[in-house]
Amino acid sequence: MSDTLTDIADAAEQLCDPRQHAEPRWEWDTNRNKKPLKPHVTTVPGLIQQLRDQAEPGVDGEAGGAGGARAVPVAIDAVSLLAAISLGAAMRAKQWGINLDERTTPEEHIRGLVGLAGRRASDEQYELRRELRSWAWQAEIITGWRTPPRELVAPCPQCGARGTLLAYAAEDNPRARCVGCGAGWAEVPHQDEGSIRILAEHVIAYQKQAGTTMAAARTAAVADRRRREGKDAA
């Protein structure tokens, strides 16, 4: 299997399949040394199911006091990402001629796409990889598995949008992406990604230039005020 197809399968697995999660645990002995304990292993559902659990928390069955059944507040981020994934997966499945009815879950659509990916052109494979990874990343952030990204203060060098460049704290590939156009920058770039070093240079150059522009604007404003004050005094 090519790298791209492996990546596609990995991202699809994260989104669709349950996995084992090992939570590290420690104890302190009498000398106050930290000792590792056997990790606490739990099975966690796939990311899409986790989003669903957050998006449709249902109703707490216990009739609690005067309020009766208590509705759990809706997590709008989870609702919106779940809708984007469901729609996106269904659209691509339709494009690729996967014949599934409307009751088909996004997981089934994604598994269908993974099954066909090997027969599609490479640019379509990149596109699918980008889409699945982007969903998995966003889902990991919303479900709390991943530290939220930090916004980079510079326009995207690919699409020029502002406020869309995000840098990720974890050591993963890519380290930064544009949520506008989907461009990614990585330590070890794949075919469709740029180098994180080039992006860093772009951000630094932009910030330097923006700094100069702001300084120039301040100088001009001060000069302008002095000129006006000078006129008033005259």
Task: Give min distance, CB of 73 to Zn ion, in A.
Answer: 33
x/- map, 183-202, Zn ion, by CB under 5 A? x-------------------
Q: How far is the CB of 162 from Zn ion (least distance, A)?
A: 10
The verdict on 181 binding Zn ion (CB under 5 A) reads yes
Choose, by CB under 5 A, the member of 180, 189, 192, 200 that binds Zn ion: 180
Do the Cβ atoms of 163 and 152 come closer than 8 Å?
Answer: no
Q: At closest approach, how far in Å is the CB of 163 from Zn ion?
A: 11
Residues ≥6 apart with Cβ < 8 Å to 189: 174, 195, 196
Site for Zn ion in 108-167 (CB under 5 A): 156, 158-159
Give CA–CA dist 212/233, Å, rounded.
31
Q: Which is nearer to Zn ion, 158 or 173 (CB)?
A: 158
Measured between alpha carbons, how far is residue 141 from residues 32, 44, 78, 86, 164 in Å? 35, 15, 10, 18, 16
Instruction: Give per-residue burial for 171-185: e unless 16+ CB within 10 Å, then b.
Output: eebbbbbbbbebbbb
Shortest distance (Å) from residue 157 CB to Zn ion:
8
Which residues sit at the interface with Zn ion, rule CB under 5 A?
Answer: 156, 158-159, 178, 180-181, 183
